[in-house]
């Protein structure tokens, strides 16, 4: 499986500011996603990061609030804009790969996540 | 997004006991995945299922892809303290579009 690195791993931010989270993968991947996990909750898909084109957002998430870049097949960024305390969450980068080089694809792997606290 | 209902929400069991949890959806999924998440970490993939009726094992873990393709089950046999964590199911709806269950919190009492 791919190794996925996220930065920052955690941050404390002031209300009204914006923060950009970086995701670096050690191999080229076609599919890359951003998820949000609010405290004590499950994972919610924010958007699919498309290489060379605008991200595809899920219902309830908009580009102005969560702009995403995907300049190449190994890197993506998620910005959380104009943050409020409700944005305090873990933000997770994920990619589709396969276990052990099997022919099966469609397995989702995650980075360690970026834990944001907004004051 | 899609809603996957997972049950039970939490479990408290004695070490050595077996554990069963399940995940249901109103939609048909192409793939079912099961994850474990430890505090402060990202989810780790445990088992992947690709065909209706498929039964797959990974050590003490066994998972099944329901025949209706709307549900999946995870069993853990002979639980140990390190099994503690939150278990999530996830379904692939349209091909590389994954939605997650509500999670099952497992506590193992030594």
CA B95, B33, B86 angle in degrees (round to 5)? Answer: 135
Band the pLDDT of A1: cuts 50, 70, 90: low
Q: Mind listing the pLDDT tens digit for each residue in A57-113?
A: 999 999 999 999 999 999 999 999 999 999 999 999 999 876 544 444 568 899 999
Average the pLDDT over B26-43 and give the result. Answer: 92
Best of B43, B63, B105 to mutate (most A CBs within 10 Å, chain A): B43
Q: Find chain A residues with C-beta within 8 A of B101's C-beta.
A: 42
pLDDT value, residue A29: 86
pLDDT value, residue B1: 63
Q: What is the least distance, in Å, from the CA of A66 to any CA of chain B?
A: 17
pLDDT value, residue A53: 87
Q: Mind listing the pLDDT tens digit for each residue in B68-93?
A: 999 999 999 999 999 999 999 999 87
Q: What is the least distance, in Å, from the CA of A16 to any CA of chain B?
A: 25
Asked if residue A28 has pLDDT above 70, the reply is: yes
Average the pLDDT over B27-35 and give the result. Answer: 92
Q: Find chain B residues with C-beta within 8 A of A56's C-beta.
A: none
Query: Two tokens at B78?
Result: 């002979």
Q: How many CA atoms lie within 13 A of A100 on its CB side?
A: 5
In whole angstroms, what is the distance from residue A79 CA to residue A93 CA? 12
Burial of B68 by CB count in 10 Å (0-12 exposed, 13-18 middle, 19+ buried)? exposed
Between A51 and A82, the higher pLDDT residue: A82
In whole angstroms, what is the distance from residue B24 CA to residue B8 CA? 11
For B41-98, give the secondary structure using H, E and C. Answer: CCCEEEEEECCCCCEEEECCEEEEECCCCCEEEEEECCCCHHHCEEEEEEEECCCCCE
């Amino acid at each position: 499986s791919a190794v996925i690195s996220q930065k920052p791993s955690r941050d404390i931010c002031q209300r009204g500011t914006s923060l950009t989270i970086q995701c670096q993968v050690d191999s080229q991947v076609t599919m890359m996603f951003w998820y949000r996990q609010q405290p004590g909750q499950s994972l919610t898909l924010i958007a699919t990061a498309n290489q060379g084109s605008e991200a595809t957002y899920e219902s309830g998430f908009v580009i102005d609030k969560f702009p995403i870049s995907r300049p190449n097949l190994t890197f993506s960024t998620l910005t959380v804009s104009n943050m409020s305390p409700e944005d305090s969450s873990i933000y997770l980068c994920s990619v589709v790969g396969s276990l052990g080089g099997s022919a099966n694809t469609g397995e989702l792997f995650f980075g360690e996540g970026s834990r944001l606290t907004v004051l | 997004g899609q809603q996957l209902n997972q049950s039970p929400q939490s479990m408290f069991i004695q070490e050595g006991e077996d554990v069963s949890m399940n995940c249901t959806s109103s939609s048909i999924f192409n793939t079912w995945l099961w994850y474990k998440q430890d505090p402060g970490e990202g989810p780790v993939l445990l088992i992947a299922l690709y065909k209706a009726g498929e039964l797959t094992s990974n050590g003490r873990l066994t998972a099944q892809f329901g025949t209706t393709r709307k549900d999946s089950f995870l069993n853990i046999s002979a639980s140990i303290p390190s099994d503690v964590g939150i278990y999530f199911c996830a379904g692939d709806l349209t091909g590389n579009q994954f939605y997650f269950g509500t999670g099952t919190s497992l506590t193992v009492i030594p």
